[in-house]
């Protein structure tokens, strides 16, 4: 007997492997694996299409759903190509609002590299807490590199965590998937060497620091940037932003309140078109008048993200430019 043809809802494994290899080449060409090429093998091994059995693409007037079981072979091929595009994918939409997505793979690779997981070598692989389970794809990459027992992922929505578990099991991974408020972390699995968030924060949840080992690293989206905080103890952490821009859905839960929208008034169009100025506006929203932000941005010669940082000390947290004790600081 010849080889059995793949089921309609399963893409040709050769075609899927070729698409995955092409994605990895694109990520590698962009330099995302620089600094820790060990993540390349994880992206080669983990099949992204398993984690996005359907997703939504923007069309005029809303979203179009693509899925792997579509009876139309042309649309199924579109779904598979999109699953391995280096692009974010909307995976849950409700009333026109995006609730969950699968992040752009090259950005995921950059964030995983920035976790510096090989830095933790005493007692075996590092223990990682992921905030925002999403499809489970990022947790699978972590589990492939570190082992199932060293990865915990949390999400507030039980539908999201249940589908993440299914996707992970289908791909052969079984990290701990927890339904709960990501702002509260996951105390029962603590302590952690690394915390990575795949949702945007407006401040730093204090429970996270208390669940970290001294010297742990917290990497999270904040104000269209990525902040890398080194944890000293349960009440102190400090770090700078990376140069990489980052746009994620907001954290929902205890500290997931929407950030205050800045009132832009009649700010110059040139400034508003600058990604770095928009970053400054987001970072200082609610604490610094937009015109003051503009004056600062111009006076400091359009500062890049890496000049900004965040300090957490006890009940206080603030963002700063150049120096945490300097003249430019704003409470979070």
Helix axes 275-284, 290-299, angle to 10 degrees: 130
Residues 51 and 192 in one domain: yes
**200 and 298 together in one domain:** no
Residues 170 and 284 in one domain: no
Judge whether 256 lies within some domain.
no
Model pTM above 0.75: yes
Structural domain includes residue 131: yes
Q: Domain for residue 1, yes or no?
A: no
Indicate whether 33 belongs to any domain. Answer: yes
Specify whether 273 is located in the same domain as 219: no
Tokens representing residue 65 in the block = 């759903």
- Average pLDDT score, the chain: 90
Q: What is the pLDDT of residue 8?
A: 44
Q: Is residue 248 part of a domain?
A: no
Residues designated catalytic: 103
225 and 309 in a single domain? The answer is no
Q: Which of 245, 310, 241 is nearest to 274 (CA)?
A: 245
303 φ/ψ angles, rounded to the nearest 5 degrees: -60, 140
Count of structural domains, the chain? 2
* pLDDT beneath 70: ranges in the chain: 1-9, 96, 120-124, 253-265
What range does the domain containing 46 cover? 13-241
Look at residue 257 and tell me if it is in a domain: no
For 44-55, what is each residue's pLDDT tens digit?
Answer: 999 999 999 999
> In terms of domains, do 184 and 300 share one?
no
Domain shared by 228 and 283, yes or no: no
Together in a domain, 163 and 303: no
Q: Give pLDDT tens digits for 186-240.
A: 999 999 999 999 999 989 999 999 999 999 999 999 999 999 999 999 999 999 9
Tally the C-alpha atoms within 13 A of residue 201's C-alpha that lie toward its C-beta.
Answer: 27
């Amino acid at each position: 007997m010849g080889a059995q043809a793949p089921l309609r809802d399963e893409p040709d494994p050769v075609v899927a492997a070729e698409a995955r290899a092409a994605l990895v080449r694109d990520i590698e060409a962009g330099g995302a694996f620089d600094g820790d090429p060990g993540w390349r093998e994880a992206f080669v091994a983990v099949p992204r299409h398993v984690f996005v059995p359907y997703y939504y693409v923007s069309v005029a007037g809303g979203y179009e759903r693509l899925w792997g079981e579509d009876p139309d072979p042309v649309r199924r091929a579109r779904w598979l190509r999109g699953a391995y595009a280096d692009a974010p994918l909307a995976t849950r939409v409700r009333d026109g609002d995006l609730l969950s997505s699968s992040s752009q793979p090259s950005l995921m690779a950059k964030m995983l590299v920035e976790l510096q997981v090989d830095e933790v070598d005493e007692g075996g692989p590092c223990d990682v807490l992921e905030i925002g389970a999403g499809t489970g794809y990022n947790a699978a990459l972590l589990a492939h590199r570190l082992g199932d027992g060293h990865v915990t992922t949390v999400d507030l929505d039980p539908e999201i965590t249940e589908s993440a578990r299914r996707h992970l099991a289908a791909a052969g991974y079984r990290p701990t998937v927890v339904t709960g408020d990501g702002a509260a972390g996951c105390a029962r699995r603590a302590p952690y060497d690394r915390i990575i968030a795949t949702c945007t924060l407006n401040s730093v949840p204090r429970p996270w620091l208390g669940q970290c080992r001294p010297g742990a690293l917290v990497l999270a989206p904040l104000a269209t940037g990525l902040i890398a905080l080194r944890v000293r103890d349960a009440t102190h952490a400090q770090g700078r932003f990376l140069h990489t821009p980052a746009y994620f859905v907001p954290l929902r839960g205890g500290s997931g309140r929407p950030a205050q929208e800045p009132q832009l008034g009649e700010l110059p169009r040139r400034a508003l078109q600058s990604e770095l100025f928009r970053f400054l506006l987001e970072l200082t929203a609610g604490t610094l008048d937009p015109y003051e932000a503009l004056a600062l941005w111009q006076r400091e010669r359009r500062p890049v993200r890496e000049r900004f940082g965040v300090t957490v000390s006890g009940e206080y947290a603030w963002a700063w430019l150049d120096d945490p004790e300097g003249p430019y600081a704003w409470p979070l």
